[in-house]
Amino acid sequence: MYENPDGVMIGLEVHVQLNKLKTKVFCGCTTDYHNDPPNSHVCPVCLGLPGALPVINKKAVEAAIKVGLALNCKVEEHTQFYRKNYYYPDLPKGFQITQYDFPISSGGYIVIEGEDGEHRVGITRAHMEEDPGRLVHEGTIDKSKYTLIDYNRSGMALLEVVSDPDMRSPKEARRYLDKLRNILEYLDVFDGNLEGALRVDANISIMGGQRAEIKNISSHKGAERALLYEIVRQKNVLRRGGVVVLETRHFDEAREITLSMRSKEEAHDYRYFPEPDLVPLKISGWAPAIKETLPELPDARRMRFVEQYGIKDDQAKSLTGELVWANYFEDFLKAYKDEYKEKLDPKLAVAWIEVLKGELNYRDLTVDAFKKEDMLSILELLVSKKITEDGAVDIIRTLLDKGGSPDEIVAEKGLLKVEGDIVSTAVEEAIKENPQAVADYKAGKEKALNSLVGAVMKKTKGRADARAAREVLLGKLG
């Protein structure tokens, strides 16, 4: 049972860009603008030109429903768009089309690994809205002499996922974000690697006091840092006998602190009212068909991996925590069977995928940096006992750092495993040269055997199989 000593309550509002859709939410402009010049993918609708009208992108509604279902939400009978009125240069109509009453889905939950085991975080609602344009400054916003506006982003479909205030620590908040992102990737509605794909507003209070809302945090790590800072700040306010006030704060990522933006008195009155240009959408009939298309989600896949492949739960968790690795694992097993007409032990596969992952992470590389065929060859060399585990690691590192092919590297470095007479000779020499270790072993010190194995490996330049060397040693020592 987690005590939550500071009475921390955290709720998150996550803006998810449905950037895998082909077109924006209310017009036909492409969502594929990231490599193009500013303001090159705009039209009367997403520029808010006088007289232009929005038309809902049905695919965006479907994607939103899909997310709602995956988050265990209830999908409403009908959904309605509203106008949120405020002025800002990135908002070409002077209002944002969003949802208010009748959001597309509500009342769901996500299960995360909490401070004290599995922890359920409620989802208040998930509603659709349009993304504003993007403001670009020279240097920092407060020092820049001008602001440039790029409306390519204007009108991108966003889904705002609002959680209940169920998280009790910044760590839980981060895990919630990781899990949400994980689920979104599985749903194929979202590419988290694109700029601005996921933005977070965090609400936090301690000891039952007023909450602060921290706006526009752009990373999971940033959210954790902002919340950690905010707990310290609020505790300091209380310690000095003050009162935490309801306010909106800004997270300065460079300095990792939060700064006050506006108090409750200055809070906006958004004057919500139903968008007259979009009729209420009856979506009650959509959900069943969309439910059919829901893929296997991370938790289910993790359980299946343990059951079907007999791998450990934490290995399954690590694999399914990133869609790309979960897919890699299953594809790899299949490809191995196709290539070598023989089943690969999933436990062996997962162990070596973890090694590969570690080497890639160390070099800040993604899975694309390593050819799957090379990995297949390496596993085959291991399975057929042609190379040692040390040799396999050497091949992976060499491929990443210098390139080439596994066979070339094996030949060049002489990594083919040695067996038989060479190992026997090395064992005999090792026994002769280490009488003390032999005596220790015979006196019952089991550990002395390890130094003898080490000596054999040294003599064979690592090409002997350690386990085989050990057996030969045991035989000779009687």
Partner 1 sequence: MATINELKERIHAGSSEEIVAEYLERIGGSKLNAFITVAKENARKCAKEIDSEGHDGSLAGIPVAIKDNISTKGILTTCASKILTGYVPPYDAHVIERLKDAGAVIIGKTNMDEFAMGTSTETSFYGPTRNPWDLDRVPGGSSGGSAAAVAGGEAPLALGSDTGGSVRCPASFCGVVGLKPTYGVISRYGLISYANSLEQIGPFATTVRDIAMLFDVIAGYDARDSTSVDKDVNYSSALKNDVSGLKIGVPEEYFGEGTDENVNKAVWNAIQKLEDLGATRIEVKMPHTKYALSAYYIIAMSEASSNLARFDGMRYGLRAEDSDWHSTFSQVRAAGFGDEVKRRILLGTYALSAGYHDKYYLKALKVRTLIKQDFELAFKDADVLIAPTMPYPAFRLGEKIDDPLSLYLADVDTVPINLAGVPSISVPCGFSHGLPIGMQVIGKHFDEATILRTAYTFEENTDFHTQQPEGL
Report, in Å, the least distance between residue 56 CB and partner 1. Answer: 7
Q: How many other β-carbons are positioned within 10 Å of the β-carbon of residue 358?
A: 12
Hey, which residues between 33 and 52 contact partner 1 (CB under 8 A)? 44, 47-52
Q: Do the Cβ atoms of 93 and 271 come closer than 8 Å?
A: no
Report, in Å, the least distance between residue 86 CB and partner 1. Answer: 8
Q: Do the Cβ atoms of 317 and 182 come closer than 8 Å?
A: no
In this structure, what token pair is assigned to residue 388? Answer: 């040692």
Q: Do the Cβ atoms of 126 and 162 come closer than 8 Å?
A: yes
* Cα radius of gyration rounded to whole Å, the chain: 29
3 binds partner 1 per the rule CB under 8 A: no
Binding mask 446-465 for partner 1 (x = CB under 8 A): --------------------
* Residue placing its CB nearer to partner 1 in the complex, 134 or 235: 134
* Residue placing its CB nearer to partner 1 in the complex, 266 or 269: 269
Report, in Å, the least distance between residue 133 CB and partner 1. Answer: 10
CA distance 94 to 190: 27
271 binds partner 1 per the rule CB under 8 A: yes
Only one residue has tokens 């160390």, namely: 362
Hey, which residues between 50 and 69 contact partner 1 (CB under 8 A)? 50-56
Q: Which stretch binds partner 1 (CB under 8 A): 245-253, 267-275, 290-298, 378-386?
A: 267-275
CA atoms within 13 A on the CB side of 46: 30
Only one residue has tokens 């004057």, namely: 271
In this structure, what token pair is assigned to residue 281? Answer: 């959408």
279 binds partner 1 per the rule CB under 8 A: yes
Residues in the chain: 478
Among 20, 66, 93, 168, binds partner 1 (CB under 8 A): 93
Report, in Å, the least distance between residue 281 CB and partner 1. Answer: 9
Hey, which residues between 393 and 422 contact partner 1 (CB under 8 A)? none
CA distance 318 to 306: 12
Report, in Å, the least distance between residue 78 CB and partner 1. Answer: 14
DSSP class of 108: E
Report, in Å, the least distance between residue 205 CB and partner 1. Answer: 23
- Helices and strands (DSSP H and E) totals, the chain: 15, 16
Among 11, 68, 92, 462, binds partner 1 (CB under 8 A): 92
Judged by CB under 8 A, how many residues of this single chain contact partner 1?
29
- CA 398 to centroid of chain Cα atoms: 28
CA distance 354 to 412: 26
CA distance 423 to 294: 56
Partners of residue 214 on adjacent β-strands? 202, 249
Among 118, 265, 269, 364, binds partner 1 (CB under 8 A): 269
Q: End-to-end distance of the chain based on CA atoms, in angstroms?
A: 55
CA distance 247 to 188: 36
Report, in Å, the least distance between residue 278 CB and partner 1. Answer: 5
Residues with Cβ within 8 Å of 253's Cβ and at least 6 positions away in sequence, in order, are: 217, 218, 219, 222
Report, in Å, the least distance between residue 47 CB and partner 1. Answer: 7
208 binds partner 1 per the rule CB under 8 A: no
Only one residue has tokens 């291991």, namely: 382
276 binds partner 1 per the rule CB under 8 A: yes
Report, in Å, the least distance between residue 272 CB and partner 1. Answer: 8
264 binds partner 1 per the rule CB under 8 A: no
**3-state SS class at 21:** coil
Q: Which stretch binds partner 1 (CB under 8 A): 6-14, 85-93, 231-239, 446-454?
A: 85-93
Hey, which residues between 109 and 168 contact partner 1 (CB under 8 A)? 147, 149
CA distance 360 to 368: 10
Report, in Å, the least distance between residue 51 CB and partner 1. Answer: 4
* Residue placing its CB nearer to partner 1 in the complex, 49 or 259: 49
Q: In the complex, which residues of this chain contact partner 1 (CB under 8 A)? A: 44, 47-56, 83, 85, 87-89, 92-95, 147, 149, 269, 271, 273, 276-279
